[in-house]
């Protein structure tokens, strides 16, 4: 929450006194479905055919999956940087999405997989738990699911400036990563 006027940045009193500016974050955007093989291919092909695919029954009919799975496919596509929402135009392929559609439509090349992994793991705002797991957590020794939950919770609170987060959503994210 910052206001810009004549080159000055104004922050809330809490932000000025704590030095913390809240960061956007997201938990459980995947509807509890991990990214499955073939989903991005199916989604890219559907968006190529119809940019409004997700506006009709969340895309479930066109993708041949349930509504929550269709929402999850849309989430993973956006989080991986292969699609973007464009007002009045629907979902569009990004440059990365177009390149994948043209040169590796079935996402078989290891380099494509690494790019997608990096895009997801680098996306704090859409895949907060994945971002912190792959970029900030100290994973030099064995850990339990509960250890992971506590480390993730502490990192999210530190990174976002929030005072609390949804325990259930974070636990679901941790389960999805470890699945």
113-163 pLDDT, tens digit per residue, is 999 999 999 999 999 999 999 999 888 888 999 999 999 999 999 999 999
pLDDT band at 19 (very low <50, low <70, confident <90, very high): low
**Residue among 87, 156, 147 at smallest CA distance from 124:** 156
Which whole-number Å values give the CA distances from 79 to 8, 30, 82, 97, in the listed order? 33, 10, 8, 12
CA dist., res. 141 & res. 83, Å (int): 36
CA–CA–CA angle 168, 173, 178 (5° rounding):
125
Q: Where are the alpha helices (DSSP H) in 50-166?
A: 60-63, 67-79, 95-103, 110-121, 128-135, 145-160
Cβ atoms of 20 and 161 within 8 Å: the answer is: yes
- Chain CA centroid to CA 32, Å: 12
Interval 73-102 mean pLDDT: 95
């Amino acid at each position: 929450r910052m206001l810009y006027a004549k080159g000055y940045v104004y922050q809330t009193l809490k932000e000025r006194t704590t030095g913390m500016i809240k960061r956007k974050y997201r938990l459980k955007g995947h509807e509890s479905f991990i990214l499955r093989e073939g989903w991005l291919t199916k989604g890219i092909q559907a968006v190529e055919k119809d940019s409004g695919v997700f506006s009709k029954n969340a895309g479930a009919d066109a993708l041949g999956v349930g509504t929550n799975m269709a929402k999850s496919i849309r989430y993973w596509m956006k989080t991986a940087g292969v699609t973007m929402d464009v007002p009045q135009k629907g979902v569009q392929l990004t440059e990365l999405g177009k390149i994948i559609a043209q040169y590796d439509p079935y996402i078989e090349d290891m380099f494509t997989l690494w790019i997608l992994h990096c895009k997801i793991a680098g996306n704090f705002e859409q895949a907060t738990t994945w971002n912190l797991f792959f970029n900030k957590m100290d994973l030099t020794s064995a850990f339990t699911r509960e250890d992971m939950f506590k480390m993730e919770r502490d990192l999210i609170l530190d990174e976002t400036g929030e005072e609390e987060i949804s325990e259930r959503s974070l636990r679901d994210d941790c389960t999805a990563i470890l699945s």
